[in-house]
């Protein structure tokens, strides 16, 4: 049964829903006495009028049409490339290091430790004498769930890689006209950039020729970052075979380009991280018993009183727009400076892309499937408890004032630690962030907040509770798979 439909269908649906919620209410009564919080929970009997309101706000269920067509040969190739450190200058870090299936497709840290770091996720250190990192990566590594759906046409927290039909390459990006033609999607275009970043993957100038090219700004030229990496990959016979199988226009090693690499990685990401089998999805597809009473109550708040869906709306619970949610700024920032400051520790977000001061502190609304698996949260990973994120979204200024730095998950390093909490510890900078927030404070009680958190947990696709199947057994370069 579809939720959207004629008025008649809608009336039938509402009746069914009311009946099933009543049934859930009595099922819940049986639990009374076990959990004191459950006992205080008001019976879940939303009025028909409220249900009708929510129905209009609820997204349509995810379908195959929302995603590009599958391509198993490209996906298989993309999988090994995603895990292969060959794409980094010093051959010491892969895409997977920061987007690991064992860390919810992120890295479990507030801010990543890029090339030179040692270990995976919360055990990752800032390196040893031979390879100590000199800076933290300034933004949280985002999760990759549903990132390959067609409606995701803007990549990164600030959308700096973006589909743009008016641009000769088809995309606006930091590479301008240097971006190669033939990219399948913004997701594919995105994959070209991590290897060009010194801190993330390329390394420091003097350490390897890829880092030298990156430091010189030579991305697309002869001997540029992309040509060198394509050449490295093409020199491995197993890759030559995989690329020839995956791409009609690759007959031999000499045909392999970084565009093929990027398109294969995007095919892998889009297929592997599609997450749409959650209790919420089953509810949208007509199974009205799929969510717990508390999650249903949270859904009502999310789409109603708490106004979360002003921004977290649509099929993937994001409007794909940019908003100021006032998330705490921690870490080294992006080099921006509020008036009166020159330490570069601010991050102006979308303003960095548009140059428009109205976009200051705006970041892309994150998609929320599997959000319970993808902490720490926020563009700087400042929160490591999902309930605190919800509390933040209900009262930004109060949350900024109450921010507890102990929750940040940052491998300690004497050279990096001093910068981590400079912005969030400064009342004037906190006030500047709070002033832009597009969220009106709303006082909800503990049970209502619990209910919203429970709704967020109803966005978990249980197939992703264990993602070990996604890690390949070996990779063509023979480089170590472990970090
Ligand atoms: C050192 C850690 C690190 C490595 C290595 C890394 N990433 Fe990321 N990734 C990040 C961070 C941090 C961001 C967000 C940066 C920003 O928004 O400014 C990001 C953003 C992304 C996004 C955009 C997600 C979104 O929601 O917009 C995708 C997709 C992605 N990375 C894929 C990759 C791929 C593919 C590779 C390998 C070619 C890779 N990453 C390597 C840390 C990393
Ligand atoms: C004005 C638009 C807006 C409203 C309203 C809003 N959000 Fe958000 N939300 C955002 C943006 C933008 C971010 C990312 C901000 C950042 O990283 O700096 C975000 C981040 C989040 C995150 C963290 C996701 C991640 O991957 O890091 C969660 C969870 C979340 N919001 C839930 C909610 C809930 C629950 C509500 C309602 C109580 C809500 N939001 C209301 C725009 C909004």
Residue-wise burial string across 285-323, b where 16 or more C-beta atoms lie within 10 A, e elsewhere: beebebbbbbbbbbbbbbbeebbbbebbbbbbbbebebb
| Ligand 1 neighbourhood includes 258 CB (under 6 angstroms) | no
Instruction: Of 151, 444, 461, give the one whose Cα is nearest residue 304.
Output: 444
| Ligand 2 neighbourhood includes 310 CB (under 6 angstroms) | yes
Q: Crossing angle of helices 293-303/7-29, nearest 10°?
A: 130
Residues 229-251 have a mean pLDDT of: 98
Instruction: Tell me the CA–centroid distance for residue 20 and ligand 1, in Å.
Output: 43
Instruction: Dump pLDDT digits (tens) for 149-206.
Output: 999 999 999 999 999 999 999 999 999 999 999 999 999 999 999 999 999 999 999 9
Instruction: Dump pLDDT digits (tens) for 313-332.
Output: 999 999 999 999 999 999 99
Total count of residues recorded for the chain: 483
Instruction: Tell me the CA–centroid distance for residue 155 and ligand 2, in Å.
Output: 17
Which CATH number applies to 72-106+142-272: 1.10.760.10, 3.50.50.60, 3.40.50.150, 3.40.1280.10? 1.10.760.10
| Ligand 1 neighbourhood includes 202 CB (under 6 angstroms) | no
Q: How confident is the model at residue 436 (pLDDT cuts 50, 70, 90)?
A: very high
| Ligand 1 neighbourhood includes 93 CB (under 6 angstroms) | yes
Cα 367 from Cα 143, distance rounded (Å): 9
Q: Contact 157/143 with Cβ under 8 angstroms?
A: no
Q: Enumerate the domain spans of the chain.
A: 72-106+142-272, 279-462
Helix (H, G, I), strand (E, B) or coil at 349: strand
Q: How confident is the model at residue 130 (pLDDT cuts 50, 70, 90)?
A: confident
Give residue 55's pLDDT: 83
Instruction: Of 191, 166, 216, give the one whose Cα is nearest residue 94.
Output: 191
Instruction: Dump pLDDT digits (tens) for 67-87.
Output: 999 999 999 999 999 999 999
More confident: 46 or 339: 339
Instruction: Tell me the CA–centroid distance for residue 379 and ligand 2, in Å.
Output: 10
Q: Which two tokens stand for residue 456?
A: 């967020």
Global pTM exceeds 0.85: yes
Cα 229 from Cα 448, distance rounded (Å): 51
Residues 224-243 have a mean pLDDT of: 98
* Residue that has been written with the tokens 């301008």 in this structure: 176
Cα 455 from Cα 478, distance rounded (Å): 43
Give the E-state strand segments of 286-332 in sequence order: 322-323
More confident: 435 or 6: 435
Q: Which two tokens stand for residue 308?
A: 């979360």
* Residue that has been written with the tokens 């109450």 in this structure: 402
Which H or E run contains 171? strand 171-172
Q: pLDDT averaged over the chain?
A: 91
Instruction: Dump pLDDT digits (tens) for 465-481.
Output: 999 999 999 999 999 99
Instruction: Tell me the CA–centroid distance for residue 460 and ligand 2, in Å.
Output: 17
Instruction: Dump pLDDT digits (tens) for 323-373.
Output: 999 999 999 999 999 999 999 999 999 999 999 999 999 999 999 999 999
Ligand closest to the CA atom of residue 326: 2
279-462 placed in CATH 3.40.50.150: no
| Ligand 2 neighbourhood includes 350 CB (under 6 angstroms) | no
pLDDT of residue 92 exceeding 90, the answer is yes
């Amino acid at each position: 049964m579809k939720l959207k439909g004629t008025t008649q269908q809608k009336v039938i649906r509402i009746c069914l829903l009311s009946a099933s919620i009543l049934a859930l209410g009595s099922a819940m009564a049986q639990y009374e006495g076990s959990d004191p919080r459950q006992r205080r929970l008001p019976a879940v009997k939303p009025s028909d009028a409220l249900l009708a309101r929510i129905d209009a706000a609820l997204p349509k269920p995810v379908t195959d049409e929302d995603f590009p067509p599958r391509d198993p040969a490209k996906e298989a190739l993309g999988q090994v490339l995603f895990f292969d450190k060959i794409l980094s200058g010093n051959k010491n870090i892969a895409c997977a290091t920061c987007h690991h299936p064992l860390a919810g497709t992120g890295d479990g840290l507030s801010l990543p430790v890029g090339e030179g770091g040692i270990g995976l996720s919360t055990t990752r250190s800032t390196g040893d004498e031979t390879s100590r990192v000199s800076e933290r990566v300034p933004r949280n590594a985002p999760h990759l769930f549903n990132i390959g759906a067609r409606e995701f046409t803007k990549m990164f927290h600030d959308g700096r890689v973006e589909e743009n039909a008016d641009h000769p390459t088809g995309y606006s990006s930091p590479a301008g006209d240097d971006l190669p033609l033939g990219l399948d999607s913004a997701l594919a275009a995105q994959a070209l950039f991590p290897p060009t970043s010194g801190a993330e993957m390329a390394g420091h100038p003097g350490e390897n020729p890829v880092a030298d090219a990156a430091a010189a700004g030579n991305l697309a030229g002869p001997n540029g970052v992309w040509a060198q990496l394509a050449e490295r990959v093409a020199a491995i016979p197993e890759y030559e075979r995989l690329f020839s199988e995956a791409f009609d226009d690759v007959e031999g090693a000499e045909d392999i380009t970084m565009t093929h690499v990027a398109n294969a990685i995007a095919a892998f990401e889009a297929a592997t991280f599609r997450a749409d089998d959650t209790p919420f999805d089953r509810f949208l597809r007509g199974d009205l018993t799929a969510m717990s009473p508390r999650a249903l109550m949270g859904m009502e708040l999310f789409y109603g009183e708490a106004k979360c869906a002003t921004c977290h709306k649509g099929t993937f619970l994001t409007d794909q727009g940019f908003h100021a949610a006032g998330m705490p700024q921690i870490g080294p920032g992006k080099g921006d400076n509020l008036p009166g400051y020159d330490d570069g520790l601010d991050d102006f977000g979308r303003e960095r892309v548009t140059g428009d001061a109205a976009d200051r502190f705006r970041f892309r609304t994150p998609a929320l499937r599997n959000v319970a698996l993808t902490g720490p949260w926020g563009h700087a990973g400042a929160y490591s408890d999902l309930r605190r994120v919800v509390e933040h979204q209900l009262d930004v200024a109060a949350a900024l004032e109450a921010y507890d730095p102990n929750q940040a998950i940052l491998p300690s390093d004497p050279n990096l630690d001093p910068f981590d909490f400079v912005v969030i510890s400064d009342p004037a900078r906190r006030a500047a962030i709070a002033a832009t927030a597009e969220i009106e404070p709303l006082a909800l009680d503990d049970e209502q907040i619990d209910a919203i958190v429970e709704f967020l947990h109803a966005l978990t696709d249980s197939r992703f509770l264990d993602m070990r199947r996604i890690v390949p057994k070996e990779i063509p370069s023979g480089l170590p798979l472990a970090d």
